Chain A
C-alpha cells in the first residue's frame, strides 16, 4: 500500500495533522494508522470528509528503514504501508507511543531517540499533584523531524504528546505541516 503521507497514530494530534495536511495539499493521498480510540471525533470525521483514509485497529509495530529514511511501516495485522513522508503521532505511555521497562524508555516503531531521566527514581515526583518528569519524556526532533542515533530521519516527522519537553499540540501540528515537503 502506498501513500504520499502516512500518519501513525489516530489520536488528537494525528487527526488534526491529517486535516491540516489535506487542507493544505488537496491532491495528496494521506492515511492514518489508528490503534485505538480518539477523543477527537470531529477531526476524525473532517479528515475522512477531506478524502483521507483511516485504518482502524492497526497498530504500527515496526519499520523498514533505508539510508536515514523510512521506506515503510508494518502493522500488527501485517499491513505494509509505504509513503514519501511519515508522521509519528502515537502519544506517550498510555497510548503506547512510548514503552518503558525497569531500565529505560523506548519508542517502539522506529527506535527513535528518546529523552528521559536515566535514574528511574527521578521519573516521577513525590506528590501526585506536582508536575511529573515522565510527562516531558518523549522523542527528540530537529525541525519537526525525528532523530535516531543522533541523526535526522529525513522523512519522519513527529507531533503531539510523543515529543519531549512541554508540548503545545496545535503548534507541533502546524510545524509538521510547514516542514513537510
Chain B
C-alpha cells in the first residue's frame, strides 16, 4: 500500500492551505474531505480579508497576524481579493474616545489606520449611515472564500497532492500509540478504504473535535454559530465596520454583485453543526444592526441567510474549559497527549489560513527532519498570476475574474447560462474537467453559478442539463435541478417575506412540479 508523507483531513481553507504548502515542499500529500471543498465554515462567513483592525484593541497578536497575512494575500491571491479598503464608523451612540484608542492600537499593531472627516467618509462610501460622527479608514478587503479554497486545492494538485472529496474519515490505523493512517469511507461507492501516512493532520474545523476523539485525543471545542444575510445588491463598495467593542452584526462586506451583513454569535450543540438554521430573531437583529451601518439595507431585497460554525478552542491552561484560546491553535499530539503521528490545526481566521498552514507544515518538516523553506507567501496562486484575459465576451471576462489565467483553458464565445454571474457553458465544462465538480452544489462553489440576484430561478434548468451532459450522464438533469432548488430554498426560508417571498412563489411555479 502506498504510504504518504501526510494525510490532511478537511477540505476547508486551512486543509487546502496545508495541502498546498506540503505539496510545494515536496511532501507526498493526500487530502480527504467528507463533503466538498469549502463546505463548512470556509464557505459560510463574511468573505472579509481582515486588516486586523477589528482585533487591535482586544487581541494585538491576532491583529498583527492579520495585517501581515492581509498584505501577503493581496499579492498571492490577488484574483480572490478585491481591494475595497474598509471604514470603521462611530455613530452618535458610540464613543469617540474608543475611536482614539482604536486608532492608537491599530498603529501599534502595524495597521495603517487613518481617522478622517465624517463628510469625507460619506463621499468615499455614500451608502454609510449619514449620522456618523467619526470614521477611520483601514486596509480591510473583500475576499471570495470559495475561490480562495479552490485556488489552494488546484495548486496543491498541480504540485502533486491527491485530493479526494466525498471521503469521510471513520477511524484511524493505530499501532500502539502511533497513528499510521486513516480509514475513510468513499461516500460515492460506500467502500471503506485505508490510507497510510507518516503524519496525519487534523484540519477539520469544528468537526476536528470528533476526528481527534477517534484517535483517543480530547480537544475541547465550543461551536459558535455565526449567522449572516446576503443582499441582492452591492449596497456598499467599502467594508463598513462599527467602531466599538466587537459585537453582533457590525460588519458589512461587499462581494462581487452582492453584500453580506454579519454576524451573530451563539453557542450551539455539536449535533447542530451539520444542519444549522438561522432563526427569525437572528434575522431581525442582523437587519436592525446592519441598517445602522448602511440605512439602505432596510429596503434592499435579501437573497438568503446562512450560518457557519467557528471552531473555538477551549484553552488548555484552563481546566474548567470555559476560557477560549484566541488565535491559531496548533496541537502536536505527540507532545500534548503521547499520541504520535497526529497534529491538529484549528482556531485562527480565514485571513490567517496561510500562516496556519505554514506553522503546521513547519512542524511536520521538523518532525521529518526536512529542511525546506515555506514559499507560499511568495508564489501567487493559480488565477492570481496577473495576466490579461484571453477572451473578449462578458463570459470570458467574468471567468477571468473568477479563475484568472485559467480562463484561457476555456472555449471562447460560449453561451452564457447563468446571467447573474455570467457563467458560460465552457466554464462549466472547465469546472468538471479541472476542478473536480460532481454535482450542482460543487459547481456553485467553483463558479458562483446561481449565487446572484435570481438565486438560480431563471437558469437552474439549463444549468442542470448542461452539467449533466458535461458529466457524461444526461439522465441526472432532473436530480440536479431538484438538488439546486432544495439548496436555494434552505437559505431563502429564514428571509421569506417581501420580495423574497415573491421570488419563492415564482420559483415554485417554475420548478416544483404539480
Interface residues of A (CB under 8 A from B): 92-94, 96, 99-102, 120-121, 123-124, 126-129, 132, 134-135
Contact = CB atoms under 8 A, between A and B. Distances in A.
B486 A124 contact: no
28 contacts: A92-B505, A93-B504, A94-B505, A94-B506, A94-B509, A96-B502, A100-B501, A101-B497, A101-B498, A102-B283, A102-B287, A120-B497, A121-B494, A124-B489, A124-B496, A127-B486, A128-B485, A128-B489, A128-B507, A128-B511, A128-B512, A129-B512, A132-B504, A132-B508, A134-B501, A134-B504, A134-B505, A135-B508
Contacts of A101: 497-498
B482 interface: yes
Contacts of B505: 92-94, 134-135
A92 B493 CA distance: 18
A98 to B, nearest CB: 9
Nearest to B509: A94
B506 A100 contact: no
B326 interface: no
Interface string B147-161: 000000000000000
A132 to B, nearest CB: 6
B296 interface: no
Interface residues of B, number: 25
Given A102-B284, A129-B482, A124 B497 contact: no
A97 B482 CA distance: 28
B280 interface: yes
A102 to B, nearest CB: 6
Given A94-B506, A127-B486, A128-B508, 5 more contacts: A94-B505, A102-B283, A121-B280, A121-B494, A129-B512
Interface in B478-498: 482, 485-486, 488-489, 493-494, 496-498
Given A94-B509, A120-B280, A128-B508, A134 B496 contact: yes
Most buried by A among B497, B498, B506, B509: B497
A99 B499 CA distance: 9
Contacts of B287: 102
B486 A128 contact: yes
B501 A123 contact: yes
A123 B493 CA distance: 9
A126 B284 contact: no
Contacts, number: 59
A51 B463 CA distance: 45
Contacts of B502: 93-94, 96
B453 to A, nearest CB: 16
A123 B486 CA distance: 16
Contacts of B512: 128-129
Contacts of A132: 504, 508
B504 A124 contact: yes
B67 to A, nearest CB: 39
Interface in B444-496: 482, 485-486, 488-489, 493-494, 496
B489 A102 contact: no
A162 to B, nearest CB: 12
Interface in B280-317: 280, 283-284, 287
A124 to B, nearest CB: 5
Contact of A102 (B485, B497, B513): B497
A100 B498 contact: yes
Contacts of A120: 280, 496-497
Nearest to A161: B505
B402 to A, nearest CB: 27
Contacts of B486: 127-129
Most buried by A among B280, B486, B509, B512: B512
Contacts of B482: 128-129
Given A100-B498, A101-B498, A121-B280, A126 B493 contact: yes
Contacts of B284: 102
Most buried by B among A93, A132, A134, A135: A93
B287 to A, nearest CB: 8
Contacts of B508: 128, 132, 135
Nearest 4 interchain pairs by C-beta: A128-B489, A100-B497, A94-B505, A128-B485
B498 to A, nearest CB: 6
Given A94-B506, A102-B284, A134-B504, A123 B496 contact: yes
Contact of A124 (B485, B493, B506, B513): B493
A93 B501 contact: yes
A91 to B, nearest CB: 9
B487 to A, nearest CB: 9
A45 to B, nearest CB: 24
Contacts of A127: 486, 489
Contacts of A93: 501-502, 504-505
Contacts of B493: 121, 124, 126
B6 to A, nearest CB: 40
Contacts of B494: 121
B484 to A, nearest CB: 9
Nearest to B512: A129
Contacts of B497: 100-102, 120, 123
A126 B511 CA distance: 16
